[in-house]
Amino acid sequence: MALFRNLGPFSTTAIGHGEMPLTIENNRGHEVGIETLHASLDAGCRHIDTAWAYYCSGGEEQTGEKLVREALETWKGPKDEVLVATKVGHFRNFTDGRPTWDVDGRPENLIRRGKESALALGVDTIDLLYFHRPDPKVPYNESVEAIKQLVDEGVAQEAGISNASIEQIDIARGILGDKLVAVQNQYSPIHLETQDTLDYCAKVGLAFVCWSPLGGYRHPYDETKFDPFREVAAAHGVSYQQVVLAWELAKGDHMFVIPGAHRPETILDSLKADQLELTPEELAKLG
Ligand X SMILES: NC(=O)c1ccc[n+]([C@@H]2O[C@H](COP(=O)([O-])OP(=O)(O)OC[C@H]3O[C@@H](n4cnc5c(N)ncnc54)[C@H](OP(=O)(O)O)[C@@H]3O)[C@@H](O)[C@H]2O)c1
- Compute the least distance from the CB of residue 87 to ligand X, in Å: 6
- 143 touches ligand X by CB under 6 A: no
In the bound state with ligand X, the residue whose beta carbon lies nearer, of 157 and 266, is 266
* Number of residues this chain uses to bind ligand X (CB under 6 A): 28
- Compute the least distance from the CB of residue 232 to ligand X, in Å: 15
In the bound state with ligand X, the residue whose beta carbon lies nearer, of 33 and 280, is 33
Site for ligand X in 163-182 (CB under 6 A): 163
- 261 touches ligand X by CB under 6 A: yes
Q: Judged by CB under 6 A, which stretch of 65-73, 103-111, 137-145, 208-216 contacts ligand X?
A: 208-216
- 89 touches ligand X by CB under 6 A: no
Contact track, ligand X, 123-142, x by CB under 6 A: ---------xx---------
- 206 touches ligand X by CB under 6 A: no
Q: Judged by CB under 6 A, which stretch of 14-22, 71-79, 138-146, 199-207 contacts ligand X?
A: 14-22
- Per-residue H/E/C for the chain: CCCEEEECCEEEECECEECHHHCCCCCCCHHHHHHHHHHHHHCCCCEEECCCCCCCCCCCCCHHHHHHHHHHHCCCCCHHHCEEEEEECEEEEEECCEEEEEECCCHHHHHHHHHHHHHHHCCCCEEEEEECCCCCCCCHHHHHHHHHHHHHCCCEEEEEEECCCHHHHHHHHHHHHHHEEEEEEECECCECCCHHHHHHHHHHCCEEEEECCCCCCCCCCCHHHHHHHHHHHHHHCCCHHHHHHHHHHCCCCCEEECCECCCHHHHHHHHHHHHCCCCHHHHHHHC
Q: Judged by CB under 6 A, which stretch of 12-20, 38-46, 65-73, 173-181 contacts ligand X?
A: 12-20
Q: Which residues lie near ligand X (CB under 6 A)?
A: 18-21, 49, 132-133, 162-163, 184, 211-217, 239, 241, 258-263, 266, 269-270
